[in-house]
Amino acid sequence: MNHQQRSVNVPAPVPASWPRLEAGECLSLFTAKDESSGPAGLRIRWAWRENGGFDPRAHELVRGFELQEAFQTCVEIGDELLAPARSPRGLFINDWDAHFLETNRYVISGGSLGLALLLGLIGYARRVPPIPRCFVWGAIRPIRNDSFSVVPVGDIEGKLRYASMSAPSMIIHPRAETLHVPRECRDVGISEPIKAAWAELNAVLQDEVVHVH
């Protein structure tokens, strides 16, 4: 959920430009613990692939265990909800973004990208490209009914502030978070229970495809 700067002299990324994403790719948003020493936010792209596990290159760019756990959690959820098909088994960081992080000595951490990864996984399985100009965040935690729950993330204000600078068309986030999204931006709150969340993500992905085409 955070990125940290190890050295200064970093050009802040231009938030207004939007990358073009293919089916199975997804965009995660990280906000800074300390805005005085780096950009307020970073958008990092990931791509689901059939195999390969959690990108070995990403280990140097990541602190903590939450990112890898978010990946494993999505695989587990996908295996259950895509059955009889199975989840893809590989998640790779975008080459350019990896290079950017490495060059600027940024480290990303936190599990707030869980929902973004899950939407990317659905897109991979359904072969549907991501929703244009859309930010997604939300953590996914195991709960006591042998299932999972979508839960709010930290620094919601920072995420919303950064997202708003990019004129997003949609923000997808845990329903338990109350957001005041920019005008012209669709606010999509996702339910806590994972099966409901899965259905809602599928629906919103389908809606947008229909809308775009």
Distance linking the first and last C-alpha atoms of the chain: 33
By beta-carbon proximity to other proteins, the closer residue of 128 and 176 is 176
Rounded-to-integer distance, Cα 50 and Cα 58, Å: 17
Q: What is the DSSP code string of 127-174? A: T-PPPTTEEE--EEEEETTTEEEEE--S-HHHHHHHHHTT--SEEEEE
By beta-carbon proximity to other proteins, the closer residue of 69 and 200 is 69
By beta-carbon proximity to other proteins, the closer residue of 149 and 166 is 149
| Footprint on this chain of other proteins (rule: CB under 8 A) | 4-6, 33-34, 37, 65, 69, 72, 76, 141-146, 148-149, 151
Q: Please report, as a single letter, which amino acid is at residue 129.
A: P
Per the omega criterion (within 30 degrees of 0), is the bond before 11 cis?
A: no
Give me the least distance between CB of 37 and other proteins, in Å please.
Answer: 6
Give me the least distance between CB of 153 and other proteins, in Å please.
Answer: 12
Give me the least distance between CB of 12 and other proteins, in Å please.
Answer: 17
By beta-carbon proximity to other proteins, the closer residue of 6 and 86 is 6
Give me the least distance between CB of 181 and other proteins, in Å please.
Answer: 25
Residue 36: partners with Cβ closer than 8 Å, 6 or more residues away = none
